DNA sequence: CGGCGGTACTG
DNA sequence: CAGTACC
DNA sequence: GCCG
C-alpha cells in the first residue's frame, strides 16, 4: 500500500490492454507489449484461466484496505494520513468528521466528498469557462483565460476545472506580471457572484514588475444556480511562462513525465514555469536550472525545442 | 541493478 | 520537514 | 510494478 511506483506501472498498463483489438485468451498474446512484463503477464494468465485473481480477492475483503482507500479519496488525505486515521480506529467517513486533527482543506474535502466525485458534463465546463472569461476581462481587458486539463484534451466529462490565465501587456514578449493583483481581485469577484464557494489553497507569489512567481488558487465552485461543488484550480502565469504552464496543466500526466524525462536527456529542465537549460551541478546528483528560460511563446515551441512531434490537445490522452 | 517529473502548497 | 496536490 |  502506498506504493506509488508500482501502482503507476499498473496504471500505465491499463490503456495498453484496453487498446488491444482482440480479447485476451492467453498470456502469450500480451507478450512483448510495452508496460507489461512478466508479473502482469502472470496475472493476466491467472485471470483468463481461472476467471479471477486470488491476490485481489484478499484485498477486496480486507477491511483495512477498504477503509484506507476510502479515506485516501478525501481531498487532502493521502496514503500516510489515511493510514494514521485507520490506526486511530476510524472506519467510516462519519468517524473522520469527528476527528479534530483534520486540516481545514481536508475538512472541506470531507464535507463535499460526494459533490467533488461527480463529474462535470463538457458543455457545463464550457459555459463556466465562458463565465470566467467574462468576469476576467471585466477586471483586466486582454486577459487570456483557458480551461486546460481533460476539458482541453477533449473529454466529454471532466473531474474538475483547470484554469490557466495569462496577460499580454501589449509590449509583446515582455515577461512581467503586468497586473500582479489580478488573481485576488478575480477570486473576490467570483465569490461575490457565488461562483467560488470554498478555498482549499490560495497563494500569491507573483512579484510586481518581475516574471517570477506563479499565483495559484485551488478551491470549490458551483455551476450557476446550483449547490453541487466542483474542484477548480486557477493558475496565473506571466506571458513568457504561459506556454509551459498551459502545456503542464493540459497534460496528461503521462505526457508531462515523458516530456520532462526527454528534456533532461537533452540537457534541459522542464516544469510548468518554463523550459530551462540545465546547469552543471558541481558534484550534486541533480542538475540545476539556468536562470534563462528557453524562449517558448507557444506550446509548439516546447515540443520543437525538445524534438518531440507536436501533439494537438486531443492527442495528449496518453 | 537503480531509476522512475518537477514544483509548491499546508501544518 | 513530511505529506499532499496538480497535470 | 516496468524499463534500460
Average pLDDT, consecutive stretches of 10 residues, N- to C-terminus, chain A (318 residues) = 81 88 89 91 92 88 93 96 96 96 97 98 98 96 96 98 88 52 93 97 63 81 98 94 96 95 93 89 61 87 95 95
Q: Note the pLDDT of residue A290.
A: 79
The CATH T-level fold of domain A2-58 is DNA polymerase; domain 1 (1.10.150)
pLDDT at position A282 is: 47
Please tell me the predicted confidence (pLDDT) of residue A18: 87
C-alpha cell at A190: 467570483
Fold of the domain built from segment(s) A252-315: Beta Polymerase; domain 3 (3.30.210)
> Domain extents for chain A?
2-58, 64-111, 120-243, 252-315
A43 assigned to active site = yes
Please check whether strand C approaches the CB of A313 to within 7 Å: no
Is the domain covering A64-111 a CATH 2.60.40.10 domain? no
Predicted pLDDT of residue A174: 45
User: Is strand C within 7 Å of residue A182 (CB)?
Assistant: no
pLDDT of residue A287: 67
Distance A207 CA to B5 C1' (A): 26
Same CATH topology for A2-58 and A64-111?
A: yes
Q: What is the CATH number of domain A120-243?
A: 3.30.460.10
Residues ≥6 apart with Cβ < 8 Å to A135:
A186, A189, A190, A193, A195
pLDDT for A137:
95
Amino acid at each position: 500500500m502506498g506504493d506509488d511506483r508500482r501502482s503507476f506501472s499498473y496504471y500505465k498498463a491499463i490503456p495498453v490492454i484496453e487498446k488491444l483489438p482482440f480479447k485476451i485468451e492467453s498470456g502469450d498474446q500480451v507478450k512483448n507489449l510495452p508496460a507489461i512484463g512478466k508479473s502482469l503477464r502472470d496475472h493476466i494468465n491467472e485471470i483468463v484461466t481461472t476467471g479471477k485473481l486470488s491476490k485481489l480477492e484478499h484485498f477486496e475483503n480486507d477491511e483495512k484496505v477498504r477503509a484506507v482507500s476510502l479515506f485516501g479519496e478525501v481531498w487532502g488525505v493521502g496514503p500516510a494520513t489515511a493510514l494514521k486515521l485507520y490506526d486511530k480506529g476510524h472506519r467510516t467517513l462519519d468517524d473522520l468528521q469527528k476527528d479534530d486533527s483534520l486540516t481545514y482543506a481536508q475538512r472541506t474535502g470531507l464535507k463535499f466528498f460526494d459533490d467533488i466525485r461527480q463529474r462535470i458534463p463538457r458543455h457545463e465546463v464550457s459555459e463556466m469557462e465562458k463565465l470566467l472569461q467574462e468576469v476576467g476581462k471585466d477586471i483586466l481587458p486582454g486577459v487570456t483565460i483557458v480551461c486546460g486539463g481533460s476539458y482541453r484534451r477533449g473529454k466529454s466529462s471532466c473531474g474538475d476545472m483547470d484554469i490557466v490565465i495569462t496577460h499580454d501587456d501589449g509590449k509583446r514578449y515582455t515577461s512581467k506580471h503586468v497586473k500582479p493583483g489580478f488573481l485576488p481581485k478575480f477570486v473576490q469577484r467570483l465569490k461575490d457572484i457565488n461562483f467560488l464557494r470554498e478555498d482549499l489553497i490560495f497563494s500569491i507569489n507573483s512579484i510586481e514588475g518581475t516574471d517570477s512567481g506563479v499565483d495559484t488558487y485551488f478551491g470549490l465552485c458551483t455551476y450557476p444556480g446550483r449547490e453541487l461543488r466542483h474542484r477548480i484550480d486557477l493558475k496565473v502565469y506571466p506571458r513568457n511562462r504561459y506556454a509551459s504552464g498551459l502545456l503542464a496543466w493540459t497534460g496528461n500526466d503521462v505526457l508531462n513525465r515523458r516530456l520532462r524525462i526527454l528534456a533532461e536527456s537533452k540537457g534541459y529542465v522542464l516544469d510548468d514555469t518554463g523550459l530551462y537549460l540545465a546547469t552543471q551541478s558541481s558534484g550534486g546528483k541533480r542538475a540545476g536550472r539556468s536562470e534563462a528560460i528557453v524562449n517558448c511563446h507557444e506550446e509548439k515551441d516546447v515540443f520543437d525545442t525538445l524534438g518531440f512531434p507536436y501533439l494537438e490537445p486531443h492527442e495528449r490522452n496518453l
